[in-house]
Amino acid sequence: MAFTVAIDGPAAAGKGTISKALAAHFGFAYLDTGLLYRAVGAKGGDPLAAARALTPEDLAADGLRTPEVAQAASRVAAIPAVRAALVAFQKEFARREGGAVLDGRDIGTVICPEAEVKIYVTASAEVRAERRWKELSEKGISQAFEEVLAEVKERDARDMGRADAPLRPAEDAVMLDTSDLSIEAAVAAAVDAVEAKR
C-alpha cells in the first residue's frame, strides 16, 4: 500500500533528521529531494541537460553538502524546466509500495498534494543558521556565523519568492516549529502526526 509523508520547510529546519527518523520508525523509504537539485547544481554546465541526465549514483556524489552547492541548487531550482524534469522520479518514489517519506520545498504542494501526511518544519533563521554553522564546523568547513545567516536568508528568499513551486506550507500541513525543541521532541511530534493519519 502507498502511504506518503511529505515534509517541507526552509533550509536547516530539521527536515532531514525528522524524515530519516520517521522512515526508520515506520519502515518507509526516504528521499531527500534537495539532493536532486544539489546534484544538478554541482554538475555545472546546462542545468536542464544535467537534470535530464541525472542518475541515482549522482545523488551519492561527494561534496553535495557544501554551502556553494546549496546556493547553486537553490538557483537551478528556480528554473521551471529543471523542476519539471525531476517531477516524475519524485512522484513515483512518493507512491511506491510500503510507504515513503520525502523532504523538500514543494512535496505537499506540488509533487504529492495527495500525501496522507504533510508536515511543514520550520525554525527561526537564527536557530537554523546556528545549526548549519555547527554542522559545517564539525565537517571542518569554517565560515563566519554572520555569513551562514546571510546565506540562509538569501536561500529562504529565493526558495520562497520564485514563481514556480515556491516554498510554502500546504493548506492542510501540520506546522512544526523546531526552534525550541530537542531532536527527540521534534521527532516525537512528527511520529504523532503520522500516527494520527494511519
- Asked if residue 19 binds ligand DC (CB under 6 A), the reply is no
* Cell digits of residue 135: 554542522
The CA-to-CA distance between both ends of the chain, in Å, stands at 12
The piece of 22-30, 73-81, 117-125, 182-190 that touches ligand DC (CB under 6 A) is 73-81
Strands across the sheet containing 100-104 = 29-32, 100-104, 4-8, 117-122, 174-177
CB distance 142 to 67 below 8 Å = no
CB distance 18 to 186 below 8 Å = yes
CB of 44 to ligand DC, least distance (A): 16
- Asked if residue 131 binds ligand DC (CB under 6 A), the reply is no
CB nearer to ligand DC: give 117 or 159. Answer: 159
85-104 positions binding ligand DC, by CB under 6 A? 104
- Asked if residue 106 binds ligand DC (CB under 6 A), the reply is yes
- Asked if residue 73 binds ligand DC (CB under 6 A), the reply is yes
Residue found by looking up cell 492542510 in the block: 172
CB of 30 to ligand DC, least distance (A): 13
- Asked if residue 117 binds ligand DC (CB under 6 A), the reply is no
CB of 97 to ligand DC, least distance (A): 22
Interface residue with ligand DC among 19, 38, 190, 193 (CB under 6 A) is 38
* Cell digits of residue 185: 521532541
Question: 188 vs 16, 127, 194, 198, CA distance in Å?
Answer: 15, 20, 10, 15
- Which residues are near ligand DC by CB under 6 A? 11, 33-34, 37-38, 70, 73-74, 77, 104-107, 155, 159
